[in-house]
Structure 1
Amino acid sequence: MTRNVSEYPPLEAYGLVGNLETCALVSVDGSVDWCPLPHLESPSVFARLLDAERGGRFGVRPAAAYESTQRYLDRTNVLRTEFRTAMGDLAVTDFMPIVEDGGERIRPPTMCRRVTCERGRTEVEVAFEPRFDYARAETTVEARDDGLLAAGGEESAFLTTDRPFDVSDGEATATVTLTEGDAEWFVLRYGDAEPVADGTAGRLLDDTVSFWRGWAHSCTESECVFGGPWHDQVVRSGLVLKLLTHRETGAIAAAPTTSLPEDVGGVRNWDYRYNWIRDAAFTIQALSNLHHGAEARSYFEWFLDRCRAEDPERIQPLYGLHGDPDLEERELEHLSGYRGSSPVRVGNGAIHQRQLDIYGELVLAVYETVSDDGTLDRDDWDAVRAIVDYVPEVWREPDAGIWEVRGGPRHFVFSKLMCWVALDRGIAIAEEHGFDAPLDRWRAVRNEIREAVLERGYSEERGAFVRAFDDDALDATALLVPFVGFLPFDDERVQRTVEAIRTGLTTEEGLVRRYDGDDGLPGEEGTFVLCSFWLVDALALSGRVEEAREVFLGVLDYANPLGLLAEVIDEDGGVQVGNYPQAFSHVGLVNSALYLGRAAGRTGAGIEPMGLELGRGTGASEE
């Protein structure tokens, strides 16, 4: 049945398209409900996802009652929404053009929508309701002979169509009748009033399909390290990560959306359209093992540029995709938020937080990349050395931690652990490549951190590594203790920690919450998808492979029919919440499939997974 357009579809009802500069979310009802232009960090042109009445949309759907499904064209990010009605079948193919070699750009940013009648006869409702600048600019729509010109503030967009539209109050609507075999194109170009011919749009579709299929992971599945019932979802996760990668800089957005709530109706609503440094080690590993070494290297260069440009104490946890450090958090009070979840935020206040774990994640990412391709020049080393040398000055300080809590700084165990990692991998890089470094000082501080973590970060009473020093609250980041080489997997403290998290933070369905305890915000969040994959990894590398496989398949059940995952799974309803789709969730999926593949004896090219290479360049055994 058709839905009332004032409703908010569940996040599972959306597919993602993009052009490596921005993205759009298209609902299973054929509505573009989120699209910032010209860049992912830019203000939205369509934002019905954040306000069903004011946000703006671009809808194409049958006029009659229908059932609908979505799928991607095989191994692409070209989305096809299929409608079935009593009188006929309709398909809407959505994509943002990318040429085959990825070098030439389509200017200006463009979104193409092809509408085809697959059977019988269908009447199609088209609603074009752009709202520039997060629906703050007064928008006008003007009908022209070759399309519709929309304008708001200093922005404009042109929709190519030869169909007559009724235009009123910044909205344009039309009903188009199609019979079997008919095709209709609607092509939206940002900032340009030049029409696009159907033939040109058709060529762009072919080029875009070729680009994605040329890029996507391909293999003989029976021989692939990712082989198994999840192989297609691994391929899809790689395509999601590529969509979130900026073609110019190599930076990767945490998600393409802002303010999709972790707790529906609550205030846990954040803007994730930026690059978090901590994603680096996991993302590099995931892309490399999908045989996308060029993307991993590009990302490596992006964050290494941040190291060269900033003194270590000035490095932020996140930056814009173009390297912009000015991401001041603001509230858009005129938008009601997804299902009434306010405030709607743009920018992110975490830029002002001290997050000590980022130094370990930076150096770990350098170590992983250099171990893979052996390339690190002296200028790069000078930047890395400055970071490592800064860690002894700050590791004793409290911080906001990996979860960016807003309840005040604490001595988070994971932050201390990653300070240890920064020194450990810095020592390894210097030794393996013959770089100058104050190794005696670094080793001494590494030992101090290790002793502090073992003494104050492990609770005998709880039987686990805990969230913060001298605390008994659990934190899922403790699952990573063996992965970074701090302790081996067979250490009793590691195995007790896995069990404590298995019983204390994990639901019956195998989904894992991030932590116990207060974080300075009202309300509660659900289970965090990435943490659930961390549990899979820990079980797999602890020899509990069947148990890991069971948990992994259980998490995959929550992906939508397209294979997309948000940040959080709501414990009560089992639905996806939080920003969507989430890069970290898909990184976790790829890495867990990798660990399961390796545990089953499969091999593959790329970086050796953390946890399987612990004897190389780490100090765990000598301390």
Structure 2
Amino acid sequence: MASPIEEYGFISDLHTGALVSREGSIDWLCLPRFDSESIFAALVGDESNGRWLLAPSRNVGHSFEPVVVRRSYRPSTFILETLWKTEEGEVLVTEFMPVGGHGSLLIRRVHGLQGQVVMRQELELRFGYGKILPWVCRIHDDDGEALLAVAGPQAVLLRAAHLPRAAGYSHVGEFPVAAGQTVDLQLHAFPSHNVPPPAIDVDQALQTTSAYWTNWSRNFIPQGSYDREVERSLLVLRALTHARTGGIVAAPTTSLPEEFGGERNWDYRYCWLRDAALTLEAMMTHGFRQEALYWRNWLLRAIAGDPHDLQIMYGIAGERELPERVLNHLAGYRGSAPVRVGNGAVNQYQGDVVGEVMVALAKLRDQGVHEDHFSWPLQRNMLLYVENNASRKDHGIWEMRGEKRDFTHSRVMMWAALDRGVRAVEQHGLDGPVERWAELRDHLRSEILERGFNKEINSFTQTYGRTDVDASLLVLPQVGFLAYDDDRILGTVSRLERDLLDGNGLLLRYRTETCLDGLAPGEHPFLACSFWLVEQYSRTGRVSEAKSLMDKLIGLGNDLGLLSEEYDAIEHRMAGNYPQAFSHLALIRAADALNGAVRHLKRTMA
């Protein structure tokens, strides 16, 4: 059975990523990209769907079972270290995916610290999301003996001093590691028509990978409290970015349930314009302008073409076809079916998306980045898309699978898109039909204030004509539609606190039992929404409440500083896809706002 979500570590080579459980089992890995088919899928099935266990052997009759003493990343990296202690001794397991020039490769290094520990490995390779059993054989080449697995176009090669032996449809084996001894295991993936790749120098790869991550992190400037969490969140955002294309995936996993046993299981291994744009903002705020430019280039390639064909998400290289299908051979994470690949929301109309993108690109402009012959014309095309869809109902930020509605948040983000277009002309000297944009912008503002705000309950509402509220309304002041301390925003916050705060002080996105989202009711608090509330509290002088909520949210991360999409506060477990970019970028915004509020408070008291 798969481990609790919070028990997994994450390692990445900026092309794909693996999830490693505290028990030493790699239960999820797609190769060669985040959105490729998996070779290990035990996370959403069972061991027979693929996994690679490496841990101290558990001997029957021993009074002391192997335990993990500590687990951590090397500072400012995605090199995972796990210290195991057994009755016979201690070993340190170091796991990472080399960055730069090695292809798809996963390294597991076991170093003996005390005594002698017998390590056990169990290798089940299953291609095609756990469905395809490869042909496995031993080969000999200049680097010695290796285990080769082939199925169609894919091949995987295990190089190790102690290769596991066939046992049914698995390969198992044990090997001793004495104090001072180091044993390396290298898992290479490559096209089956190619010659198997040679062994690499693990010491050199470890040094190069460590240097990459630490050098990248040097751009991070400490801000005050929560620096460790902010730095790790920035690293997560970088780890979810494809090195060659610049595409940023929302998460490296699919179908981790938002409601255990429910149907809210989605594939997040794609690039949402919204998530990527917000990631861009977080990167820029903390000095990573080059990454922001790289993403802008990805965006321009992805959306190039007819503005009528704009999508809310794309593949990692800008692919447009992401059809959703169910993998019936997989039982789902701890029985939570269905397991989906692809995402049907790709065909939805979500009116807010252009707004997020235009807000992010405006911030890039304000930092002195000049538009070129390609970037501004495409932004004009996006604004034409807004104009052409100005009266169209949509599915909203949460990708409702019910009927389309006039979502207040979506209408505000359309206003924000036009507002940034007007500013680009007026403040940066760019060309465009500014009068037309300004007229539509002002019309939208009037409409939103008239139809999106309910005077009887003194709150903005999720959609026009209803009284339900939605946590996305906290974004209104973030994009400058109204001030954080505007009475209408404060009234909305009061309504959100009344209607959407759960018994544990976490904020729901909306009430699934009353909102017609096209799915059965039930989900856990979406962590980004509570981080938005921290930001709102910080901007309006509620600093102690902001800090209390922030500390609670930080405590919901695991020992590695990773966050999932949602949190089940009743059972004290993570829920949803993991690690989740949206949660981490919202953490960064909340920390920035809270640190700013604390500094302001200190100045006023001085």
Question: In the alignment, is residue 589 of structure 1 matched against residue 584 of structure 2?
Answer: no
User: 1:164 deviation in Å?
Assistant: 4.3
Write the deviation string for residues 516-535 of structure 1: whole angstroms up to 9, x where unpaired.
22311114110001111100
In the alignment of these two chains, the number of paired residues is: 584
Q: Contact 2:30 / 2:37 at 8 angstroms: preserved in 1? A: yes
DSSP 3-state at the match of 2:15: coil
What are the Cα deviations for residues 484-528 of structure 1, in whole angstroms up to 9, with x where unaligned?
A: 111112211011111211222113433111012231111411000
Deviates more, 1:77-86 or 1:346-355: 77-86
Residues 1:164 and 1:594: Cα distance change in structure 2 (over 3 Å): closer
Aligned partner of 1:268: which letter?
R
Q: What residue identity is the alignment partner of 1:242? A: R
CA distance in 2, matches of 1:577, 1:599: 31
| Structure 2 equivalent of residue 397 of structure 1 | 392
Trace 1:476-495 onto structure 2 (pairs within 5 A): 476-495=471-490
Checking the alignment, whether the CA contact within 8 Å between 2:220 and 2:286 is kept in structure 1 is: no
1:262 aligns with 2:258: yes
The residue that corresponds to 1:3 in the other structure is none
Structure 2 CA distance for aligned equivalents of residues 543 and 164 of structure 1: 61
| Residue 153 of structure 1: aligned partner | 152
Q: Distance in 1 between matches of 2:484 and 2:589?
A: 17
Matched, 1:468 2:463: yes
| 1:406-450 Cα deviation digits (max 9, x unpaired) | 012111111111110111111001111222222222222112111
C-alpha distance 260-193 of structure 1, shift in aligned 2 (>3 A): farther
User: In structure 2, what is the equivalent of residue 90 of structure 1?
Assistant: 91
Residue deviations 1:215-272, cap 9 Å, x none?
114667xxx32x11x2111111111111100111211100000111101111111100
Is the contact between residue 110 and residue 177 of structure 2 (CA under 8 Å) also seen in structure 1? no
- Aligned AA for 1:406? R
1:466–1:474 contact (8 Å) kept in structure 2: yes
Answering whether residue 19 of structure 2 is matched by residue 30 of structure 1, we say no
Q: Which residue of 2 aligns with 1:208?
A: 209
Q: CA deviation at 1:386?
A: 2.0
Pick the aligned partner of 2:269 from 267, 273, 279.
273
3-state SS of 1:54 partner: helix
Alignment match, 1:451: 446
Q: Is structure 2 residue 249 aligned with structure 1 residue 253?
A: yes
CA distance in 2, matches of 1:239, 1:560: 15
- Superposed displacement of residue 394, structure 1: 1.2
Distance across 1 between alignment mates of 2:559 and 2:29: 21
Counterpart secondary structure, 2:427: helix
Cα deviations by residue, 1:570-595 (Å, 9 ceiling, x for unpaired): 14213111000000111011111111
Q: Which amino acid aligns with 1:66?
A: P
Decide whether aligned partners of structure 1 residues 409 and 482 sit closer, same or farther in structure 2, where only a CA change above 3 A counts.
same
Name the CA shift for 1:534/1:121 in 2 (closer, same or farther; >3 Å): same
Q: Does 1:18 align with 2:12?
A: yes
More deviation in 469-478 or 389-398? 389-398
Distance in 2 between residues matched to 1:201 and 1:476, nearest whole Å: 47
Do residues 320 (structure 1) and 315 (structure 2) align? Answer: yes
Rounded Cα–Cα distance in structure 1 between residues aligned with 2:354 and 2:199: 51
Once residues 404 and 354 of structure 1 are traced to their aligned partners in structure 2, the CA distance between those partners, rounded to angstroms, is 9
- Spell out, residue by residue over 1:467-488, the C-alpha distance to the aligned partner (whole angstroms, 9 max, x if none): 1001111100111111111111
Residue 578 (structure 1) aligns with: 576
State whether residues 301 and 318 of structure 2, in contact with CA within 8 Å, keep that contact through their aligned partners in structure 1.
no
Distance 2:136 2:461 in 1: 57
SS across alignment from 2:98: coil
- CA RMSD, 1 decimal: 1.7
Tell whether the 8 Å contact from 1:140 to 1:170 is kept in structure 2 after alignment: no
Report the counterpart of residue 102 of structure 1 in structure 2: none
Shift of 1:133: 1.1
Deviation at 1:453, TM superposition (A): 0.9
In structure 1, distance between residues paired with 2:521 and 2:109:
43
Q: Which residue does 2:406 correspond to in 1?
A: 411
Per-residue deviation, residues 52-71 of structure 1 (Å, max 9, x unmatched): 14321011001122211421
Q: How far apart in 2 are the matches of 1:389 and 1:196?
A: 52
Q: Does residue 436 of structure 2 align to residue 441 of structure 1?
A: yes
CA drift of 1:600 comes to: 2.4
Q: Which residue of 2 aligns with 1:67?
A: 67
Structure 1 residue runs of 4 or more that deviate by more than 3 Å after TM superposition: 192-198, 217-220
Whole-Å separation in 1 of the counterparts to 2:50 and 2:322: 24
Q: Secondary structure at the match of 2:467?
A: coil
Residue 317 of structure 1 contacts residue 355 of structure 1 at CA under 8 Å; is this kept in 2? yes
* Larger CA deviation: 500-509 vs 571-580: 500-509
Q: Please give the alpha-carbon distance, in whole angstroms, between the structure 1 residues aligned to 2:590 and 2:523.
A: 23
TM normalised by structure 2 equals 0.93
Shift of 1:177: 1.4
Secondary structure of 1:118's match? Answer: strand
CA-CA distance at 1:170 after TM superposition = 3.8
**Aligned mates of 1:414, 1:207 — CA distance in 2:** 45
Residue in 2 aligned with 1:189? 188
Amino acid at match of 1:115: V
- For the pair 1:376 / 2:375, whether they are aligned, the reply is no
TM-score, normalised via structure 1 length: 0.91
Aligned-pair CA distance for 1:51: 0.7
Instruction: Tell whether 2:551 aligns with 1:553.
Output: yes
1:367 corresponding residue in structure 2? 362
Report the AA paired with residue 469 of structure 2: L
* C-alpha contact (below 8 Å) 1:132/1:153 kept by paired residues: no
The whole-number CA distance in structure 2 between the counterparts of 1:217 and 1:558 is 27
2:484 is matched by which residue type in structure 1? F
- Deviation at residue 195 of structure 1 after TM alignment: 6.2
Give matches, 1:283-294, under 5 Å: 283-294=279-290
Does the 8 Å contact 2:76/2:214 carry over to 1?
yes
Counterpart CA distance in 1 for 2:238 and 2:428 is 31
Letter in 2 for 1:429: A
**What does the per-residue CA deviation read over 1:278-311, in whole Å, with 9 as the maximum and x for residues that have no partner?**
123321121122221111111122112334x132
Secondary structure of 1:340's counterpart equals coil
Give yes or no for contact 1:158–1:193 (8 Å, CA) kept in 2: no
The answer on whether the counterparts of 1:129 and 1:170 sit within 8 Å (CA) in structure 2 is yes
In 2, the alpha carbon distance for the partners of 1:281 and 1:48 equals 32
- One-letter amino acid of the structure 2 residue matched with residue 46 of structure 1: F
- CA 1:601 to 1:333, structure 2 compared with 1: closer, same or farther past 3 Å? same
**How far apart, in 2, do the equivalents of 1:38 and 1:378 lie?**
34
Q: What does residue 79 of structure 1 align with?
A: 80
Post-superposition offset of 1:392: 2.6
**C-alpha deviation, 1:154, in angstroms:** 2.3
Change (3 A) 1:440 1:76: same
**Contact map agreement 2:254 2:339 (CA 8 A) in 1:** yes
C-alpha displacement at 1:390, in angstroms? 2.9
Query: Do 1:141 and 1:170's aligned partners in 2 also have CA atoms closer than 8 Å?
Result: no
Structure 1 residue 380: deviation in Å? Answer: 2.1
Question: Partners of 1:160 and 1:417 in 2: how far apart?
Answer: 55
Deviation of the 1:193 alpha carbon: 5.9
Say if 2:52 is the partner of 1:48: no
Q: Distance in 2 between matches of 1:72 and 1:208?
A: 13
SS at 1:521 equivalent: coil
Deviations 1:194-214 (A, max 9, x none): 46547x011101111111111
Three-state SS of the structure 1 residue aligned to 2:469 is: coil
Bigger shift: residues 152-161 or 13-22:
152-161
Alpha carbons 2:415, 2:444 under 8 Å: kept: yes
How far does residue 451 in structure 1 lie from its aligned partner after superposition?
1.3
Alpha-carbon separation, structure 2, partners of 1:469 and 1:410: 8
Q: Distance in 2 between the 1:284 and 1:376 partners?
A: 16
